[in-house]
Structures are given as C-alpha cells and as structure tokens.
Amino acid sequence: MSNYHEDTKNHDIEKIRTITSNMPPYISQYIRSIQFRTTSKTRLEYVIDIRNFFEYLIMENTSASLKDISLEMLNNITKNNIEEYLDYLQHYEKNGKEYKNDTVSIKRKLIALRRFFGYLFTNDMISANVIDKIDIPKVRDKEIIRMNRDEMDDFLNQVEYGNFKSSRQNAYHEKQKVRDLAITTLLLSTGIRVSECVGLNLEDVNMRESSLRIIRKGGKEATVYFSDEAAAYLQEYIEERSLLELENENALFLSSRKQRISVRTIETLVKKYAIAAVPNKHITPHKLRSTFGTALYEETSDIYLVSEALGHEDVSTTKKHYANLTNSRKYANRDKVILRKKE
C-alpha cells in the first residue's frame, strides 16, 4: 500500500542526495545540520537555490565546476556580487530556456542563501556573512482571490452538470464527475491544502463523524470536519470507488489510471471548471482554500477558529491574509457602542 507522505519525503531525500553529490562536501554538512527542524521539501528547495547560485558563480568564473567552488571563494563574495545575482534572477536564460522570478521568489531564494551563509559563518567556515548586509525585498500583500456565494454555486453546478462545449469533454466529465464533486466540495468545506487532499487514504475518512485525518505541513497530524453536502458526495464517490478492481491501492482519490491522484491533476480539474463557471477570476485549489477561510470568517467573526481550521501555525498569518475582512467588519460595527442616548 502506498503512503503518499512517506513516498514524497523519500523522493525529496533522493533528489537532495543526487544534487549534493555533485557539490562540495560542506553543502551536505549544511543540509544534515537542518534535517531535524525542516521538511524534506524545504531542504530540497534550499539545495536547488544554492545550486542555482553556484551555477551563477560558475558563469561568472568559467574555470570552476560546482565541486570547485571553495569556501575561500564564498568568503570573497561581496555585497555587490549578491546584488548583481538578485538582479540576474529577475530575468535570465539557461539551456535555451527563459526564466523569470517575481519579488516573492527572489525573497525566498535570498532567505535560503542567507541561512546557508549564516551556517557557514556560525561554524567558522567563512570570516564574514556578507548576505546579512542585503535587505530582504519587501513584498506587497496581494488581495485574496476568492469566490463569492453566487460564484461558488456556479462553480459547483459546473462540476456537477458539465455542459462543456465539446462532446469529448462532456463524455470525460461523466466518467469523473462523482470524483470531482467529492474533491471540490471537500476542498471548499474544509479548506485543506491540495497536497493534504492528495495524501488522503481510505482509512483517513470517518463518515460517521464527518471527519478526515490529514497530515499538515511539517508532518503534523490533524483532524478536520466536512459538511453534510460534502459528505453526501464523498459517500457516493467511495461507493463508486469500491466497485473498481484495485491491487494494493489505498489512496482515497484516484486518477483515470486507477493510481493516487496527483496535485497537478487536481489543479487542472479545478482550472477546467473555473474557466467555464468563473472566467473573470483565476481560481486554483488554493483559491478554494481562501474561499473557505473567507466564508468561515464571515459566518463566525472568529479569526482564531479560521486560523486553526486552515492549519496556520501562527494566527498572525491568518490576520495578515484576512486583514481587509477584519477592517470591513470593524467599520460595519463602528456604531455599535452608543455614546449618548438620542433624544
């Protein structure tokens, strides 16, 4: 039987080992030093970001290979070198392919390098940490894209009834609509991440309690509860799934190949229905999560409940994302406290 989270972790670890095998030994030392306080996904992202930086150094110094980049070379890097690299990241070509990075991506890459150089400096491997002199780019808070009640109705009607332009699309929709309804109503009624949905196994579902056992970011286990409407669609899907002839496949949601569904497949199906039903908004699985968070906050006014439901480790993250809603609610209640009785 497959275990999505373990399989994903092992796959990340193998990729980390493959990449670091072609890099200096101090990279592996750094990765080992953070393995018990970071996820495998985070470590893989760090390794890739460090490798990209090293490849940039090679481009600037054609005599070097990845393994030739010494601690002495890193020790001689200047503030200007880092600033030039950050400028390069905005738009560059590699192996005939064009790459662009927005401020959010550049900020993440700089943070990865800052932590790496911090490790080298703390362990006396370099004499100065030049990256500490670089300001972290400020990222403007983007307005949360979410669906309102009418748009949610249109979206779910599209999932249920289809009515696509081509007969081929409609035929495929008929085969998958029970599954797709179960997935989309579950995402909208729980706010779980798409990776958490993909990782669900049959034994994680408790229909009696209308609950799911999920693995949050960082590997923490949590229980979330789904609505009666989602329960009805999920029950129908589980019954349909039970008729399939499967060998050692315990994944809840399956692809057309009768294997665990992928993140990309869910992203694609959400996009397909959203384009047809809500064409003026760019709706993704994460936007379904935002829609849930918004609806829950509007109904309860409890930011702490929303934070817990979404699995945020810090309520300040929730407050940041839903600040506009908080301000709107404050404004709507501005006259609730009466200062003087009206004559």
Lowest mean pLDDT among 67-76, 243-252, 273-282: 243-252
Rounded average pLDDT over 331-339: 61
Taking the C-alpha atoms of 103, 128, 56 and 58 in order, what is their torsion angle to the nearest 10 degrees? 180
Residue 267 lies inside a defined structural domain of this protein: yes
Q: In whole numbers, what is the pLDDT of the chain averaged over residues?
A: 90
- What's the 3-state SS for 135-194? CCCCCCCCCCCCCCHHHHHHHHHHHHHCCCCCHHHHHHHHHHHHHHHHHHHHHHHHCCCH
Q: Distance from CA of residue 231 to its chain's centroid?
A: 25
- Alpha-carbon distance 85 to 266, whole Å? 35
Answer yes or no: is 90 within a domain.
Answer: yes
For residues 235 and 325, state if they share a domain: yes
Please check whether residues 201 and 324 belong to one and the same domain. Answer: yes
**Looking at the domain assignment, is residue 88 inside a domain?**
yes
In a domain, 269, yes or no: yes
Residue 184 lies in a domain: yes
Give the pair of three-digit tokens for residue 269: 């199906």
Q: At what angle do helices 167-190 and 149-161 cross, to 10 degrees?
A: 140
Strand stretches in 8-121, DSSP E: 91-94, 97-100
Give the pLDDT band (50/70/90) at residue 315.
confident
Residue 338, in any domain of the structure: no
Number of domains in the chain: 2
Q: CATH number for the domain including 311?
A: 1.10.443.10
Domain of residue 179: give its range. 149-331
Q: What are phi and psi of 147, to 5 degrees?
A: -95, 140
CATH number at 87 reads: 1.10.150.130
pLDDT in tens, 139-158: 776 777 889 999 999 999 99
263-277 helix and 285-300 helix, angle to the nearest 10 degrees: 70
For the whole prediction, is pTM greater than 0.75? yes
Residue-wise DSSP of 92-126 = EEETTEEEE--HHHHHHHHHHHHHHHHHHHHTTSS
Assess whether 96 and 158 both reside in one domain.
Answer: no
Q: Are residues 123 and 183 in the same domain?
A: no
* Model confidence band, residue 1 (pLDDT cutoffs 50, 70, 90): very low
Looking at 105, 133, 161, the residue that finishes a domain is 133
